[in-house]
Chain A
């Protein structure tokens, strides 16, 4: 057996193991973001109730802390996923065509948001905010697709609940401006991502034998 064939076989074995590692890492990712969603909703509200006279920086801290924690985990998992994608491409010789379309679609969404913000200038901020959530939703879906050959069931649950939350947020911010509906909108994501986390961590070893 040649050196290339041996390395290919080893790469295939490593990729199989990587399915297990990535599924476990995604489990942690869902858990951290689920907690971040809760903190996002609770922290600023708690600041406003318990420390009503605190200034801008307390709110800034309350809003940015969950995001920073979530982003750190996102960075950690996506770097692993990127290296896995590269090895998969080298091993199976898949083309880069799909990666190009991945980059194009978020930009199309981004420009659609900017354009609609000009058409409806009175709701600009809410459009942009909701629009970025849509891009994030799409980004999560794409990364899931690249991480796994077949997206596991908990991935679909996470995407579906997040999409629902984004839709409710967009409606709440654009039409009702109700904080209650906004909070209500994020409960499917909190529950869905927590469930996905437990399911993913529990079923990760199955990826080794599939």
Chain B
């Protein structure tokens, strides 16, 4: 099975996940796919949501295994989100838009 076929099969399996039912979460995933990592502050800028609402969306994405977040030890703490399925999301966007 070619790499593309594997990607599309994985995509097909995940497309009905509740985590992918919100446009905000898809926007977060596209941006993370482009940048690999983004901070919580960056995601607030991107979505224009409040902190609580954004946290809820991130929790859902993390629960589905699409992203991972960690708190970096800085003054005041710094939350960084990392995408775990970068190639899959980029393949999905490529597939829908092309």
Report A's interface with B, CB cutoff 8 A.
3-4, 6-8, 10-11, 13-14, 17-18, 20-21, 80, 83-84, 86-87, 90-91, 208
Contacts and interface: CB of A to CB of B under 8 A. Distances in A.
Contact of A7 (B31, B90, B96): B96
Contacts of A13: 27, 46
A83 B35 CA distance: 8
Contacts of A21: 31, 34-35, 38, 42
Contact of A14 (B34, B36, B94): B34
Contacts of B93: 7, 11, 87, 90
A87 B30 contact: yes
Where chain B touches its partner, the secondary structure class is: helix
A90 B94 contact: yes
A203 to B, nearest CB: 15
Nearest to A90: B97
Given A14-B27, A14-B34, A83-B34, A8 B97 contact: yes
A3 B90 CA distance: 16
A21 B26 CA distance: 18
Nearest to A8: B97
B23 A10 contact: yes
26 contacts: A3-B96, A4-B96, A4-B97, A7-B97, A8-B97, A10-B27, A10-B30, A11-B30, A11-B97, A13-B27, A13-B46, A14-B31, A14-B34, A17-B45, A17-B46, A21-B31, A21-B38, A80-B35, A80-B36, A83-B33, A84-B34, A86-B90, A86-B94, A87-B93, A90-B97, A91-B97
B98 interface: yes
B21 to A, nearest CB: 12
Nearest first, the 6 closest Cβ-Cβ pairs linking A and B are A90-B97, A14-B30, A17-B46, A10-B27, A83-B34, A14-B31
